[in-house]
Amino acid sequence: MHQIFFIGHPEDVAELEIDENPASSFVCMSSQQFHRDARAQLYALVCGGFLADALEMELLDRELSDEGPYLYRLEETLMGRLADLEEDQVESFASLWTECEEIEALDLDANDLMDFIFLLVHFCQTACNDDLGVYIYADS
């Protein structure tokens, strides 16, 4: 399932319709091959918590229909922690993330991980600076 991260104001996101692509109205980035379980491992590393808690850091914002698509919002504490990461911390977390089971299964290059984390950090910084949210559009 492909997912799209995007930055937006809650009022604007609330107006998103079922047949509307968020890329037409919001700044977006692809989740690439990093599915929810893989991202949760990163969230657990960054926040120093348990994986079960990290799985709950993508909060359901709303269902556009009973069968999807769905909008999730990054939890604010996570968004702040990601926004505060320095470059050397991103490199450290990328290195740790490569050792996680979900990431090992994806068989990715460390640079792919760092690129994704840097983009996500940038999204979170922009959202924090402009009083916006980071959302995830998921087909199902």
pLDDT tens digit string along 43-76?
A: 999 999 999 999 999 999 999 998 889 999 999 9
Number of folded domains that form the chain: 1
| Cα separation, 129 vs 10, whole angstroms | 15
CB 74 within 8 A of CB 81: no
pTM over 0.85: yes
Residue 12 lies in a domain: no
Per-residue pLDDT at 79 exceeds 90:
yes
| Alpha-carbon distances, residue 52 vs 45, 55, 70 (angstroms) | 12, 5, 21
Q: Which domain holds residue 113?
A: 37-138
Residue 56 domain flag: yes
Tell whether 43 is covered by a domain: yes
Residue 55 within any structural domain of the chain: yes
